Structure 1
Amino acid sequence: MNETQSPTAASAAPTVRPSRGRGLEPLVPWIIAAIVTAGLYFGRSVLVPITLAILLSFLLAPIVAAFRRARLARTPAVVLALLLSLSAMVVTGAVIASQAATLTKDAPAYAERIAERVAKVRGDVQQHFGFLLKEKDGGGGDRAATRARLQGERAAAPKRGGGAVPVEIREAPMTAMQEVELIVLPALAPIETALIVLIVTIFILFQKEDLRDRLIRLMGTADLHRTTLALDDGAKRLSRYFLSQFIVNCGFGAIIWIGLFLLGVPSPGLWGILSGLLRFVPYVGVLIAAIGPLALAAAIDPGWGMLLSVGLLFVLVEPLIGYAIEPFLYGRSTGLSPVSVVVAALFWTWIWGPLGLVLAMPLTLMLVVLGRHIPAFAMFEILLGDRPALSPAETLYQRALAGHVDEAVDQADDLLEAMPLASYYDDVVLGALRLAAADRDRGVVEREAMHGVADTIMQVLASIDAHLARGVDEAGTAGCLCIPGRGPFDLVVASMTVSLLRRDNLAARLRPREDRAGSGSDDMMLDRADLVCLLGLFDARAARRIRPLFADVEARSGAGAVIIGVQRVAGDPSNEPGMIVHDDLAGVRAAAAAVLAGAGPVAVPV
C-alpha cells in the first residue's frame, strides 16, 4: 500500500537511537518457546489426554453446578454428569458404527457412479471447451503420437537377462496370536486414551477447589482477592463458552441429519454427527463436512437436483447459526483475532495432528482468557486476542513517528465514529504528544524526529477539519487569539484549541509562526483579541522560557486574560508564579469560553 509520508518525518526517522545489545538476553524467550514446543510435540501422548480431560471438565462444570444447585452432593452430581456424557458418547459411537457399516456395503457402487459422473463431466467440458485445451497443449495429437512412439521403442528393445529365473519370496503365515495382536492392539489405543481422559476428568471435577488453590499459590498470594476473582471469572467464561459451543454444534449436526434424511442421502446420521464434530474446526470444518454428502448426492441422483439441495442446506444453515444464534448465545466475538485462529490451527495441527486441529480453538481461547487475567500469560492475550495491541494514543504516535499519514487518518476516522472530537484531541492526540515528549526527554529520539511527528499530526488535524468544518468566520470580530510556543508540538496544541473553540461557535484565530512579535499584523491581532491563549506543551522549564513572551503579550494586548496551554506531563502541578498550565485542552476550552461569554477575566494564581 502506498502511503503518504511526511517529508520531515521521513528524513527524521533514522535519528531514532537504537538500544545497545544485551548479549543473549533477547534470545531467552525464543529458547523457552523452542523448549515448550518440543515438549508439546514429544509429550503429546500424555498431554493430549490431559488436555481433553481439562476441556471436558470445563464442559461438565456447568452441569455439575446445576446438580449442586438442585441440592445434590458433590459425588452424585459428578457421577450423574459423567454418566450423561458417557451415555452420549456411547450413543454417538453406536450411531456412527451402524451408519458406517451400512455405507461400507454400498461404497463400491457409489464409487463407480461417482467415477462415471466425473467422466461425464470431463467429457462435457472437453466437448464445450476442447478448443482451449488443444491450444494449451499445442495440438491434441502430439501427446498421443509421442506416447505411441515410446511404447514402440520399449517393445523393440532387447530384453536383458533372458535366462534368469524369477524368484518369489513369501512370508510365513501369521499365527493366531499375531492375528489377535494385529486386530486388538490398534483398538486398545483409543480405549486407553478414553480411560485416561475419564479418570483425569473425575479427579478434576472432584478436586476443583483444591486445584484452584494450588494454582493461586503457584502464582503467588500477594494479591489473593484479585487472583481468585480472575480465576473464577475465567473458569466461568470458558465453561459457558464451551457448553454453548457444544450445544450449538449439536444443533447444527441435528439439522444436517434431518435435512439429509429428508433429501434421501444415505447414512444421514453419520454425516450429521461428523458435521457437528467438524464444526469445532474453525473456517474449514464445515467445508470438510460437506464433501461426503455432496459426493453421495452426486452418486445417487443422475441429475443435479440433490447435489444442489445438499449444497444449499449447508450454505443456509451455517450462516444462520454463525451470524444469528451464536452471537445471541455468547457474544459476537470469541475474543480471538482471525489471524490468530488460522495460525493456532496450523500450529496445533503440526504439533498434535488432526486432533490438534479440533482442539485449536478451545486451547487458544483458554490461553487468551488466562492472559487477560494473569500477568504471566499476558503475552498470549497480546498475540492472540482481538483487543488492540496498542492504545489509541500509542497507535497515533507510532503512525506519526513512521510518517504514515494515511493510517493515522484512518484511525482518526474510526475513533471519531465512537467518541467526540474533544475527547479525541485530549485522549489520543494529546496523549501521543506526551509520549513523544517523554521519548525526547529520555534522549531516545532526536529533536528533528519530533518535528516529523508534529508535521504528520498536523496533516491529520487538517484532514479532520476538512470533514468537520463549521464555517465560522472570525474575520473582523473580537475573539480568542491562539499563539503557539516555540516547541515542536506547540503548533499542534494551538491548532486543536482553535478547532474546539470554533466548534463552540466562538471566534478564534491562530497566529502563524511567521508573524513575529512586534510586527504590524501582530499588533493588530493583539488589539482585536478579547483573550490571548499562549499554547503548547509546557512544564516548569518551558514556562520559564516563555515568561518574557507571556509578559509582552499581557502588556501589549487589550485582552482581559492570558491563558497558558497544557501540561507536558499529565497531572504535573508545577507552574510558574503568575501563570497556570492546564491539564488538558478541556481546561483551556472552558476558561476561554467563560471569558468570551462575558464571565470576566480568568483568575490566575500567583
Structure 2
Amino acid sequence: MAPVSYTAVHKFPIDRDSRPDWPRPSWPVVGLFILAMIAAIAFARDFLMPITFSILLFFVFVPVRRRLSRLGVAPGVTAAGIVLGLFLSIIALIWSVSGPAGQLIADMPDIQSALTEKLQRLRGTFETIDTAMTQIEAEVEVEGDGQAAPASETTAGINVASAILDGLYTTPGILGQVALTLFLLFFLIASGDMLYLKIVQSFDSLREKRNAYSALREIEESLGSYLGAITLINACLGVAIGLAMWAFGMPSPLLFGLLAFSLNFIPYLGAITGVGIALLVGLVTFSDIFWPVMIATVYLSFTTLEGQLITPYFVARRLQMNAVVVFLTVALWAWLWSVIGMIIAVPLLVVISVICDHVPGLEKLGNFLAGDDPVPLAEEGSESPADSP
C-alpha cells in the first residue's frame, strides 16, 4: 500500500506516489530571472535604498524597543526617540563637516594647481613620458596660436562649479531618501511585534513558525552585534587617524577622522580610498615626497591593524564572511547602488547567511558564505571526518 500523509491545508489523504511531477525550472529560465531581478534592483535604486536601510536599522534597534517595552515605555515613544536621535546625529555630522568641507571647496582651485605642479615635477623623472607630453603641449600651443589659457585657472574653476551644481541638483533627492528612511523606521519600530507576528503567521506548521521566529531573532542579534562592533571600531579608527593627521600638520584633521570613520564601513575599497586621499593631500601640503608617503603609510598601517587584528578579535567568528564573497558582493552593490551599496553589502551578507542557516536546502550556500576554515579533505583510502563516529 502506498504511503499516505496529511497536510494542514488538505483534510484528506494524499497519495505521494500519485502526485504529479512538477516541472523544474531550467537554467536559462533561472538565469533570465536573476538578470531581471538585478535590472529591477538597479532601476528602483532610489526607492529600494531607503527601504533597505530602514529594515536593517529596524533589526538593529528592535532589541532596544523590546527592552524599553518591558520597562513600560510605549513603542511609539521609543520609535520617536530613536528617529529623533538619528536625525540630530545627521545634523551634527553635517554641521561638523560643513566648515572643513566649505574651506576645501573654496581652496579647490589652488589645490588642483598645486597638485598639477607636483605631478609635473614627478613626471620629470620619466624622461620618455616627459618628452612625449612636451611635444603634445607644443602642438596644442601651435594649433591654438599660443592663446590657450592655463589649465590650472580655467579647468579648476569649471570643475568646482560643476561639482557645486551637481551637489545642488542631487540634494533634494538625498533629503527625500533620508526622510523616507526615518519615517519608515519610525513606523516599523512603533508597530511593535506586528511585523514579526505577520511573518510568523505566514507559515503553516508549528515547526516552520518556530524556525521563522528563530531566524528573525538571530538576524537582529547578528546585525546588532556586527554593526555595533564595527561602528565602535571605526570610531576609534577615525580618532586615531585624525590625531595622526593633526600630528603630521595636515589640513582639516577632523575631516580626515570623519572620512576614515565613514570609509571604513566599506570593506577593502574604503581603506584604499582613504590612503589615496591622504597621499594626494600630502602631496599638496608638503614640498617633498617623503612626508606624503609617510602619511599614506601611517594611514595604511592603521587600517591594516584594524582589519587584520582588531576587527577579527572583537567581531564574533560566526559573523565573519568569506573574503572573496565579501569583495565580489561589495563590487556588485557598488555597481548597482554606488557608495550606499558598498556600505550595506556586508550587512546584507550577514542577513543572507542567517537565513541560509534556517532554511532547509540552503545550508551549502551558508557554508560557502561563512568565513570559517574549511574541514580538511580526507586522503584517498582513509575515512573522512564526516564519516567518522
Fold match (TM-score > 0.5) = yes
2:81 is the alignment partner of 1:97: no
Secondary structure at 1:110 match in 2: helix
Contact map agreement 1:372 1:381 (CA 8 A) in 2: yes
From 231, 242, 263, the counterpart of 1:246: 231
2:190 is the alignment partner of 1:206: yes
Contact map agreement 2:357 2:363 (CA 8 A) in 1: yes
2:313 is the alignment partner of 1:323: no
Structure 1 residues 184 and 307, CA, compared in 2 at 3 Å: closer, same or farther?
closer
2:221 is the alignment partner of 1:236: yes
Cα deviation code 1:535-594 (max 9, x no counterpart):
xxxxxxxxxxxxxxxxxxxxxxxxxxxxxxxxxxxxxxxxxxxxxxxxx8x8xxxxxxxx
Q: Give the whole-Å Cα distance in 2 for the aligned partners of 1:355 and 1:295.
A: 24
Equivalent residue runs for 1:377-526 within 5 Å: 378=363, 380-386=365-371, 408=379, 425=383, 427-428=385-386, 431=387
Structure 1 residues 28 and 375, CA, compared in 2 at 3 Å: closer, same or farther?
farther
Q: Give the whole-Å Cα distance in 1 for the aligned partners of 2:187 and 2:203.
A: 22
2:51 is matched with 50
Q: Give the whole-Å Cα distance in 1 for the aligned partners of 2:121 and 2:41.
A: 48
From 188, 193, 197, the counterpart of 2:177: 193
Tell me the amino acid that sits aligned with residue 77 of structure 1.
T
Question: How far did 1:280 drift?
Answer: 1.2
* TM-score (normalizing by structure 2): 0.76
2:34 is matched with 33
2:199 is the alignment partner of 1:215: yes
Contact map agreement 1:50 1:200 (CA 8 A) in 2: yes
Contact map agreement 1:255 1:272 (CA 8 A) in 2: yes
Cα deviation code 1:390-409 (max 9, x no counterpart):
x87xx65xxxxxxxxxxx57
Cα deviation code 1:205-234 (max 9, x no counterpart):
122521112222334434133332232123
Q: Give the whole-Å Cα distance in 2 for the aligned partners of 1:229 and 1:333.
A: 16
Tell me the amino acid that sits aligned with residue 226 of structure 2.
Y
Contact map agreement 2:275 2:300 (CA 8 A) in 1: no
Tell me the amino acid that sits aligned with residue 209 of structure 1.
D
Question: How far did 1:247 drift?
Answer: 1.9
2:283 is matched with 298
Q: Give the whole-Å Cα distance in 2 for the aligned partners of 1:247 and 1:62.
A: 18
2:266 is the alignment partner of 1:281: yes
Please identify which structure carries the higher helix content: 2
Structure 1 residues 350 and 300, CA, compared in 2 at 3 Å: closer, same or farther?
closer
Contact map agreement 1:367 1:377 (CA 8 A) in 2: no
Q: Give the whole-Å Cα distance in 2 for the aligned partners of 1:320 and 1:377.
A: 34
Q: Give the whole-Å Cα distance in 1 for the aligned partners of 2:53 and 2:180.
A: 9
Q: Give the whole-Å Cα distance in 1 for the aligned partners of 2:95 and 2:340.
A: 21
Secondary structure at 1:375 match in 2: coil
Question: How far did 1:242 drift?
Answer: 1.4
2:20 is matched with none
Structure 1 residues 387 and 312, CA, compared in 2 at 3 Å: closer, same or farther?
closer
Structure 1 residues 332 and 386, CA, compared in 2 at 3 Å: closer, same or farther?
closer
Contact map agreement 2:79 2:187 (CA 8 A) in 1: no
Structure 1 residues 320 and 337, CA, compared in 2 at 3 Å: closer, same or farther?
same
Tell me the amino acid that sits aligned with residue 320 of structure 1.
L
Question: How far did 1:200 drift?
Answer: 0.9
Equivalent residue runs for 1:127-146 within 5 Å: 130=127, 133=128
The runs of 5 or more residues in structure 1 that have no matched partner are: 1-21, 156-180, 397-407, 413-423, 432-583, 587-606
* TM-score (normalizing by structure 1): 0.51
2:17 is matched with none
Aligned residues: 344
Question: How far did 1:69 drift?
Answer: 6.2
Question: How far did 1:340 drift?
Answer: 0.8
2:66 is the alignment partner of 1:108: no
Q: Give the whole-Å Cα distance in 1 for the aligned partners of 2:105 and 2:230.
A: 31
Q: Give the whole-Å Cα distance in 1 for the aligned partners of 2:296 and 2:282.
A: 10
Question: How far did 1:383 drift?
Answer: 4.7
2:350 is the alignment partner of 1:365: yes
1:259 is matched with 244
From 299, 306, 309, the counterpart of 1:314: 299
Contact map agreement 2:75 2:192 (CA 8 A) in 1: no
2:185 is the alignment partner of 1:227: no
Larger radius of gyration between Structure 1 and Structure 2: 1
Q: Give the whole-Å Cα distance in 2 for the aligned partners of 1:87 and 1:227.
A: 35
Secondary structure at 1:368 match in 2: helix
Q: Give the whole-Å Cα distance in 2 for the aligned partners of 1:122 and 1:315.
A: 25
Q: Give the whole-Å Cα distance in 1 for the aligned partners of 2:326 and 2:258.
A: 23
Q: Give the whole-Å Cα distance in 2 for the aligned partners of 1:70 and 1:294.
A: 51
Instruction: Tell me the C-alpha RMSD between the 2 structures.
Output: 3.5
Tell me the amino acid that sits aligned with residue 53 of structure 2.
L
Tell me the amino acid that sits aligned with residue 270 of structure 2.
G
2:118 is the alignment partner of 1:117: yes
Q: Give the whole-Å Cα distance in 1 for the aligned partners of 2:197 and 2:353.
A: 21
Q: Give the whole-Å Cα distance in 2 for the aligned partners of 1:183 and 1:284.
A: 23
Q: Give the whole-Å Cα distance in 1 for the aligned partners of 2:253 and 2:71.
A: 37
Question: How far did 1:57 drift?
Answer: 2.1
Q: Give the whole-Å Cα distance in 2 for the aligned partners of 1:426 and 1:344.
A: 32
Structure 1 residues 25 and 305, CA, compared in 2 at 3 Å: closer, same or farther?
closer
Cα deviation code 1:112-164 (max 9, x no counterpart):
222222222222x24xxx4xx49xx9xx69x959x87x999x89xxxxxxxxx
Secondary structure at 1:328 match in 2: helix
Equivalent residue runs for 1:2-13 within 5 Å: none
Contact map agreement 2:245 2:253 (CA 8 A) in 1: yes
Q: Give the whole-Å Cα distance in 2 for the aligned partners of 1:112 and 1:99.
A: 19
From 339, 347, 350, the counterpart of 2:335: 350
Q: Give the whole-Å Cα distance in 1 for the aligned partners of 2:78 and 2:104.
A: 39
Q: Give the whole-Å Cα distance in 2 for the aligned partners of 1:306 and 1:388.
A: 40
Q: Give the whole-Å Cα distance in 1 for the aligned partners of 2:384 and 2:259.
A: 54
Structure 1 residues 122 and 114, CA, compared in 2 at 3 Å: closer, same or farther?
same
Q: Give the whole-Å Cα distance in 1 for the aligned partners of 2:362 and 2:120.
A: 55
From 297, 301, 320, the counterpart of 1:335: 320
Structure 1 residues 202 and 368, CA, compared in 2 at 3 Å: closer, same or farther?
same
Contact map agreement 2:237 2:306 (CA 8 A) in 1: yes
